[in-house]
Amino acid sequence: NAGVTQTPKFRVLKTGQSMTLLCAQDMNHEYMYWYRQDPGMGLRLIHYSVGEGTTAKGEVPDGYNVSRLKKQNFLLGLESAAPSQTSVYFCASSYSPEMGTNEKLFFGSGTQLSVL
């Protein structure tokens, strides 16, 4: 069981370049999340989705876009990368309706992104 898989694991971009981070989960979870982790700031929610075809803004959505065309995939896009977006990005998923609770997030192993 793979759980939550993120690709790529590392990426270096130049300012102004674009890229897409892919998150895939095989647990039939309804909810998916994108967080960024920065030193001294913990994890901050960028965007999230409560089901296929839905997205919502989190705490720090500016400069990012997301899409959830398929239930198992959640894509995070940077249209014009900036040095301030240098961070470690984590995808997470949760909530199976058959369990009826939403008490545990399952995390991917992260993407280290550097914007020069």
Partner 1 sequence: AQSVTQLGSHVSVSEGALVLLRCNYSSSVPPYLFWYVQYPNQGLQLLLKYTTGATLVKGINGFEAEFKKSETSFHLTKPSAHMSDAAEYFCAVRRGFQKLVFGTGTRLLVSP
Q: Which residues bind partner 1 (CB under 8 A)?
A: 4, 31, 33, 35, 40-45, 48, 50, 58, 90, 92, 95, 102-105, 107-110
Q: Is 98 or 103 the residue whose CB approaches partner 1 more closely?
A: 103
The CA distance from 73 to 32, in Å, is 9
Q: How far is the CB of 49 from partner 1 (least distance, A)?
A: 9
Contact 44, 34 (CB under 8 A): no
β partners of residue 23: 6, 74
The CA distance from 60 to 48, in Å, is 11
Q: Is 78 or 105 the residue whose CB approaches partner 1 more closely?
A: 105
Q: How far is the CB of 109 from partner 1 (least distance, A)?
A: 5
Q: Is 17 or 27 the residue whose CB approaches partner 1 more closely?
A: 27
Instruction: Supply 101's token pair.
Output: 């609770």
